[in-house]
Structure 1
């Protein structure tokens, strides 16, 4: 899970870095509202942990602008020392999904982040469809134009990541992070896995779906209308 933390207290950032890394999460950090908002818009995290008292833009402004400008829903967990009911209600009206008052237990923050990420996926269908492509998250079955495609696990993980991001382009670094986390192999296996995926997903069909966006990354393109 990718978590973005926007927090201006350096000691708390360091503590959260250790906590989130220990639980296997990939955490990015920003120390002010403006840079944090840009990070969230450019590469939306699975969960945003957002302090309220920030320089530049405060947490409420960041949340409001994120809701107005992002092309997807990013779950937001607000962190604040303000524990009055009115403060909580203002946070929720600004677009927060959850609220955690400082000081807090690290395990509770982790549990809330996990719950938010799962809640965000709860409404997503088990089967993703893009054009004639059909991906079943539960059974890992993949079909295109009604023909079953047998994929190894890594190829399936790449395809699922691209399908979940569709129509957005995923950067190479995003795919590497999704597959191997913070410990990518020394070699460049992504190139090989993308080649294998293309052979199975595209070669038997008239129109390729896996596209390379030069200088950016990779994305899926619908084959809608192709028989």
Structure 2
């Protein structure tokens, strides 16, 4: 899962990185609203954790811009010390999906984010077709094709493909792929390598160049062109 943290308290940001990165999450962070808006415009995130009291552009204004200017449906969880009902109503009216009051439990934040992402993915799969170069994947029917030819995978293979295509051409760390497939209940054996081998056989073997690339010791990425390294 890839998260955007927009928070100006460095201690909170450090705690979030320390908690989430070992779980396989990929985090980007911004300490002010304008930087956060720029990151949201440039990259695709599974969820945004947003503080209300931010320099430059406050959290309410930023959330409104995410929805109304960038037209993003990315789940937004507001993380703030403001705890009145009026504050919460303002947050939801601005486009937030959830609201967690400081001080907060990191475990509860994790649970809430997972629930938000599950709901978002469930509501979007009906009309989502992912494309990377000549590769297309309809996540509503689990139908993948490359250059018009079917790519037939196992259920786990489709989950890996969806994650790689969603992040492409960015590098996807091994931990992120394992989190995507198994959550926190990861197998002891190197099952990920086996599944990726099967994905590579189906995705690349019949074609003139390999889209799935390995970065040794770090992770994997999908590239749309043979000359892109």
Moved more, 25-34 or 122-131: 122-131
Q: CA deviation at 1:19?
A: 1.2
The 3-state SS of whatever aligns with 2:120 is helix
Matched, 1:93 2:72: no
Specify the alignment match of 2:108 in structure 1.
108
The 3-state SS of whatever aligns with 1:27 is strand
Structure-2 separation of matches of 1:70 and 1:88: 23
Q: Taking structure 2 as the reference length, what is the TM-score of the superposition? A: 0.67
RMSD of aligned residue pairs (Cα, Å): 3.9
Q: CA deviation at 1:194?
A: 7.5
List structure 1 segments (4+ residues) > 2 angstroms apart after TM superposition.
69-72, 124-131, 133-165, 178-183, 193-203, 210-215
The structure with higher relative contact order (CA 8 Å, sep 6+) is 2
Gaps of 5+ in 2: 179-195, 210-222
Matched, 1:160 2:162: yes
Specify the alignment match of 2:151 in structure 1.
149
Specify the alignment match of 2:34 in structure 1.
34
Q: CA deviation at 1:178?
A: 5.9
Moved more, 140-149 or 66-75: 140-149
Matched, 1:177 2:172: yes
Structure-2 separation of matches of 1:29 and 1:182: 21
Written as runs of structure 1 = structure 2, the 5 A alignment for 1:13-162 is: 13-125=13-125, 135=137, 142=144, 148-151=150-153, 156=158, 159-161=161-163
Indicate conservation of the 8 Å contact 2:78/2:96, yes or no: yes
Query: 1:133-158: per-residue Cα shift (whole Å, max 9, x none)?
Result: 87575996645799643458997566
Specify the alignment match of 2:225 in structure 1.
212
Q: Taking structure 1 as the reference length, what is the TM-score of the superposition? A: 0.68
Query: Across the two proteins, how many residue pairs are aligned to each other?
Result: 195
Q: CA deviation at 1:125?
A: 3.2
Query: 1:72-101: per-residue Cα shift (whole Å, max 9, x none)?
Result: 311000011111111100001111000001
Structure-2 separation of matches of 1:145 and 1:213: 14
